[in-house]
Structure 1
Amino acid sequence: MSGKKDETPLVDLRCGAHTYPDGTVGMHDAEFQVYPDEVVALVGANGAGKSTLMEHLNATLVPDDGELLVKGTPIDEDNKSLARKEVGFVFQDPDTQLVAPTVLDDVMFGLQNYGVPDEEAREKAKEALSTVDAGHLKDRIPHYLSGGEKRLVGLAGVLVLDPSVIVLDEPLAGLDPERSRLIIERIRDVHEDGVSVVLSTHDLDFAAEIADRVCVMEDGNVVGRGTPREVFYNDGLLRRANLHPPTAVRVARDAGVGKEMKPVTEDELVEVLEGEPGLGMTGTEVLQADSADGGEDG
């Protein structure tokens, strides 16, 4: 399990306060770390402070009171570029970061800003696009890409800088199931290549499926953290954050099964249900019945 106390975090944020110019308090007394080789899901209701926290991780925002360390180095006005290079940020709205006339030009853009010669930048950009299976898009105009394609290009645009951590704000927002599955596969590929991943999501089924660790935000603070199993079976914590458990947790409880294993994913739930005698239906049939009854209330 990543995130052991004896490990040095890649990113260590301690934010005593962050207030927006209009006086809105975005975060207070928040601590958040990202460790090597982990996927962290940040969950919470709308307005909980997820996006604000994430924009602090690469110094897009800076705390009014607090400190950001990236690989042990304190980040200030003079070395924000270190945070931007080591912590790549993929925005929820991909149009925010797609600015060049072609996809290849866009992925090259960050490298060119760091003084990489054009030909070298072009080759590295092609490699980054291939990494996310988007090489075929290199000559396309970003504006005309689908939402899922834009997310892939945005991901390539941060991967090309060889970051230690990638931050994705609501990576599945607005995508259909097929494109969501594609993005999930690419996130897993990036993690398998040794990059830690932080993502925010309202989809707790997705969080349960992909995360090693879950952090819960409420009212601008991180109010709970742990493995998906620890967090999603903590009823008091979920109530406090106005969140509903993932589908697998709800179905397991309704069926009165899995008290020892505590399934949090569909695969884990099917395994538990198919091992239970006398249920009268397979695990898959139980999940289908839950879906037909409107079981998705989270």
Structure 2
Amino acid sequence: MVDLRCEAHTYPDGTVGVHDVDFSVYPDEVVALVGGNGAGKSTLLEHLNATLVPDDGELVVEGTPVTEGDEAHARRAVGFVFQDADTQLVAPTVLDDVMFGLQNYGVPGDEARERAREALATVDASHLEDRIPHYLSGGEKRLVGLAGVLVLDPSVIVLDEPLAGLDPERSRLVADRIRQIHEDGIGVVLSTHDLEFAADIADRVCVMANGNVVGSGTPREVFYDETLLADANLHPPSAVRVARDAGLETTARPVTEADLVSLLGGVDDTATARVPSTDGGEDT
């Protein structure tokens, strides 16, 4: 669906954002970009819909190379939800805001209004349509920003740190909406510092360091690769650490709490009932 080859992107101050990146997005997958601050995650994401363009390289969206002046194709096919939701919310009411992109494309008012309401319903935010965006909570703003992208019927949605600054309940709400979008057949690419979230939601995890993708694979492949994580200054999810500390690292390789509970529930009680005795032997 999306193919990016970026030999380099350098910011005006001379900072190299990404280099030597080959990155693709396939249908029906959730891709999580993980890495430390300054690893290049946001820079890579902004190349996927031509918000940024490579100094040397190429972006191909749905089989069409994106050339200068044709960025609109990429931005319609690849919707972008920024980390700072306030940068996307520009209209006086939520409904007006979700309609905004459609109206820019010339969709008549009644049709735009109907489609905007459908998009808000998709993210369970219909009750917000008459609210002033400025007064929404952080989680509500993320949902409205997501609706404003969904209304354009993209093939891929890109989210930069979708859970940043949210409390657990609002994080759960946003994560549930992302899962729903994926189930509806839309590709999802997101960046996150929350490796628990990445382990739970991603089909593929890409590790970034120093402006490049230094490793990728399924969550089980990535989060049990100690060398890869150490090189990127990342710590594995808690389920991975617990499994290792408890000597439960098996071919099952739990990466989420649910995986770990399932694994523990399947362990033979006779194998786990042995405890140290006071005389240095073992009792059962």
Q: TM-score, normalised by structure 1?
A: 0.90
Alignment match, 2:114: 123
Which of 33, 39, 50 aligns to 2:41? It is 50
Structure 2 counterpart of 1:94: 85
Is 1:243 aligned to 2:227, yes or no?
no
In structure 1, what is the equivalent of residue 54 of structure 2? 63
Please give the residue correspondences for 1:1-298 in structure 2 after superposition, counting only pairs within 5 Å: 10-276=1-267, 277=269, 279=272
For residues 37 and 63 of structure 2, the distance between their equivalents in structure 1, rounded to whole angstroms, comes to: 31
- Determine helix, strand or coil for the equivalent of 1:189: helix
Partners of 1:266 and 1:31 lie apart in 2 by 32
Shift of 1:258: 3.5
**Secondary structure, aligned partner of 1:225:** strand
Secondary structure in 1 matching 2:127: helix
Structure 1: state its 5+ residue gaps. Answer: 1-9, 281-298
SS in 2 for 1:92: coil
**In the aligned structure 2, how far is the partner of 1:87 from the partner of 1:28?**
21
SS in 1 for 2:58: strand
Q: Distance in 2 between matches of 1:99 and 1:241?
A: 37
State the alpha-carbon separation in 2 of the partners of residues 239 and 11 from structure 1: 29
Cα drift, residue 274 of structure 1: 2.2
Deviations 1:167-186 (A, max 9, x none): 00000001111100001110
Q: What is the aligned length?
A: 271
The 8 Å contact of residues 258 and 272 in structure 1, kept in 2 or not, is answered as no
1:122 and 1:166 map into 2 onto residues whose CA distance is 21
Task: Tell me the amino acid that sits aligned with residue 198 of structure 1.
Answer: V
CA distance, structure 2, for counterparts of residue 237 and residue 37 of structure 1: 26
Aligned-partner SS, 2:244: helix
CA distance in 2, matches of 1:28, 1:53: 9
Distance 1:202 1:63 in 2: 25
The C-alpha deviation readout for 1:82-120, integer Å capped at 9, x for no partner, is 100000000001001001000000000000111111111
Partners of 1:241 and 1:179 lie apart in 2 by 28
* Greater gyration radius: 2
Alpha-carbon distance in 1 for matches of 2:262, 2:180: 25
Using the TM superposition, give the Cα deviation of residue 77 of structure 1 relative to its aligned residue in structure 2, in angstroms.
Answer: 1.6
Secondary structure of the 2:54 match is coil
SS at match of 1:18: strand
Quote the residue 2:280 is aligned against: none
The CA deviation at 1:78 is: 2.3
Contact 1:87–1:166 at 8 Å: present in 2 too? yes
Quote how far apart the aligned CAs of 1:35 are.
Answer: 0.2
